[in-house]
Amino acid sequence: MKKKTIYYLLVIIIVGVGIYFNLLKQQQIEIIKYPLEIDGGTRVENGMAIVKKNEKYGIVDIKGNYLYKIEFTRINKINKNLFVFLKNEELIIRNIISGKEMKIDEIQENINENIIVKKDKKYIVLNQNLDNIIGQEYDELMGNKRVIIVKKDKKFYFLDLKTRKERLIKEKYKKILLNSFIFVQKNNLWGIIDKNGQKIIEPKFSSFLPLESKKIIIGIKNNKKYFLNLETKLEKEVKYDNFGDVRSNKIMVIKDSKIGYLSLDGEEIIPLKYSSGFSFFENLVQLREDKKWFLLNYKTGEKTILDYDNIGEISDGMMIVEKDNKIGYINLRGKLKIPLKYELGESFITGNTIVAKESGFGIIDRKGRNKTDFVYDEIIYKNNFFYVLKNEKRGVLDMKGNTIIPIIYDELGEISENFILYKKKNEVGYLKLRNKK
Residue 18 pLDDT > 60: no
- What lies within 8 Å, CB to CB, of 235 at 6+ separation is 201, 219, 226, 227, 228
Residue 5 pLDDT > 60: no
Alpha-carbon span 305 to 212, nearest angstrom: 31
State in Å, rounded, how far the first CA of the chain is from the last one. Answer: 35
pLDDT for residue 10: 30
Q: pLDDT, tens digit, for every residue of 209-244? A: 999 999 999 999 999 999 999 999 999 999 999 999
Cβ–Cβ under 8 Å, residues 381 and 362: no
Mean pLDDT of 275-301: 95
Cβ–Cβ under 8 Å, residues 432 and 32: yes
Residue 23: phi and psi, rounded to 5, are -70, -35
- Residue 161 is given by DSSP the state T
Q: pLDDT, tens digit, for every residue of 389-401? A: 999 999 999 999 9
- What lies within 8 Å, CB to CB, of 247 at 6+ separation is 279, 280, 281
Alpha-carbon span 64 to 79, nearest angstrom: 21
Residue 13 pLDDT > 70: no
Q: pLDDT, tens digit, for every residue of 162-197? A: 898 999 999 999 999 998 899 999 999 999 999 999
* DSSP states of 47-107: TEEEEEETTEEEEEETTS-EEEEEEESEEEE-SSSEEEEEETTEEEEEETTT--EEEESEE
Q: pLDDT, tens digit, for every residue of 134-171? A: 988 999 999 988 899 999 999 999 999 889 899 999 99
Alpha-carbon span 391 to 59, nearest angstrom: 33
Mean pLDDT, the chain, as a whole number?
91
Mean pLDDT of 67-94: 95
Q: pLDDT, tens digit, for every residue of 26-66? A: 447 899 999 999 999 999 999 999 999 999 999 999 888 99
Alpha-carbon span 413 to 238, nearest angstrom: 48
Question: Strands 419-424 and 427-435, how do they pair?
Answer: antiparallel
pLDDT for residue 189: 97
Residue 12 pLDDT > 60: no
Domain spans of the chain, in order of start? 21-435
Q: pLDDT, tens digit, for every residue of 251-269? A: 999 999 999 999 999 999 9
Beta-bridged to residue 360, according to DSSP, are 357
Q: What's the Cα-to-Cα distance from 158 to each of 59, 153, 178, rounded to whole Å?
A: 38, 14, 12
Tally of CB atoms within 10 A around 91: 20
Report the predicted TM-score, pTM, of the whole model to 2 decimal places: 0.85
